[in-house]
């Protein structure tokens, strides 16, 4: 089942071997093209950035798929399930959601969804919400501290599960927004890498959707009717720097369609000799021909 066409052929025959995440997928031509594009880009990222799910010994790795309940993480799980069903991904998948104790969080949504898929999963309950609200004033955004606490918990769960990697649903536009935030507010040139090793050196952090556009993911999630949990339960989202970067990129894209794709290509085409960081390029040691 190495190609996307096999999926469509199996669906039309009513095969029960389909990934459960696609049980209610639309049958329109436009959706099929969208799904194939997302799968192709995800598989390309897996190939290019060394995320085939095999360890150095050739045995399958175990991945912790981090689910927030948003469109990106649902799409991530669906894409990886599809690629695994096709035989294009060897890793074992364990889905994980962290209930952080936000008021109004619908605790039943993700457990019910994952049980319906028959996917191995863990639901972790840790009241990080109280920690964040206790440490930060109401006029400050919670996202940075919340993210650090969440990441530490996910690392712990990954180790408990014997996982080799945690897998996140960040996409192309997340990487561009992070790049812009780092440049404008942090004074450095850095984005979101498709693959890295954590500070302790024992876990990979993977982003298989890194080549996928947010607009495609949003259309896919809407068509699939995922039970989305909004990321505004803590009420801290207004006025974020990331939102300002998103709006700036939206405006550039509106004026010049395709600008995001060009910018992301730039992240994959770095010329260190044409920047100004002596730590990564030996300017002092440059010589010229006599």
Sorted by where each begins, the domain ranges of the chain are: 4-229
pLDDT for position 8: 43
**Positions in the chain whose pLDDT score sits under 50:** 1-17, 238-239
Contacts for 266-269: CB closer than 8 Å, 24+ residues apart: 267/175, 267/176, 267/179, 267/191
pLDDT for position 232: 60
Distance CA 233, CA 236 (A): 8
Distance CA 238, CA 280 (A): 37
pLDDT for position 151: 84
Work out the number of other CB atoms within 10 angstroms of the CB of residue 131. 16
- CA atoms lying within 13 Å on the CB side of residue 210: 25
CATH of domain 4-229: 3.40.50.620
Contact in structure between 141 and 239 (CB atoms under 8 Å): yes
Structure-token pair, residue 34: 């969208």
pLDDT for position 263: 96
pLDDT for position 39: 96
Work out the number of other CB atoms within 10 angstroms of the CB of residue 238. 8
pLDDT for position 137: 56
Distance CA 240, CA 27 (A): 38
pLDDT for position 200: 93
pLDDT for position 239: 47
Predicted TM-score (pTM) of this structure: 0.86
Q: Which of 227, 229, 218, 129 is nearest to 174 (CA)?
A: 218
Q: Which of 203, 201, 234 is nearest to 68 (CA)?
A: 234
Q: Could you give the residue ranges of the DSSP H alpha helices within 94-171? A: 109-117, 128-135, 143-160
Structure-token pair, residue 95: 């889905």
């Amino acid at each position: 089942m190495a190609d996307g066409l096999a999926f469509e052929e199996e669906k039309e025959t009513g095969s029960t071997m389909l990934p459960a995440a696609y049980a209610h997928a639309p049958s329109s031509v436009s959706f099929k093209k969208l799904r194939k594009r997302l799968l192709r880009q995800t598989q390309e990222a897996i190939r290019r950035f060394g995320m085939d799910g095999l360890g150095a010994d050739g045995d399958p790795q175990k991945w912790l798929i981090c689910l927030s309940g948003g469109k990106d993480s649902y799409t991530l799980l669906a894409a990886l399930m599809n690629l695994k069903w096709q035989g294009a991904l060897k890793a074992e998948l364990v889905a994980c959601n962290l209930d952080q104790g936000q008021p109004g969080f619908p605790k039943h949504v993700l457990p019910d969804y994952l049980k319906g898929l028959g996917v191995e999963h863990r639901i972790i309950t840790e009241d990080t919400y109280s920690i964040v609200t206790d440490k930060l004033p109401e006029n400050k955004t919670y996202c940075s501290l919340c993210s650090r606490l969440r990441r530490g918990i996910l690392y712990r769960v990954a180790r408990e599960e014997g996982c080799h990697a945690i897998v996140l649903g960040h996409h192309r536009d997340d990487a561009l927004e992070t790049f812009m935030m780092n440049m404008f507010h942090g004074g450095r040139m850095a984005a979101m890498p498709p693959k890295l090793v954590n500070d302790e050196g024992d876990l990979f952090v993977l982003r298989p959707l890194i080549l996928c556009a947010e607009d495609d993911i949003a259309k896919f999630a809407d068509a699939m009717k995922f039970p989305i949990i909004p990321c505004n339960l803590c009420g801290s989202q207004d006025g974020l720097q990331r939102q300002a970067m998103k709006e700036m990129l939206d405006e550039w894209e509106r004026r010049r369609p395709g600008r995001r794709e060009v910018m992301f290509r730039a992240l994959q085409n770095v010329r260190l000799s044409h920047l100004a960081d002596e730590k990564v390029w030996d300017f002092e040691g440059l010589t010229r021909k006599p």
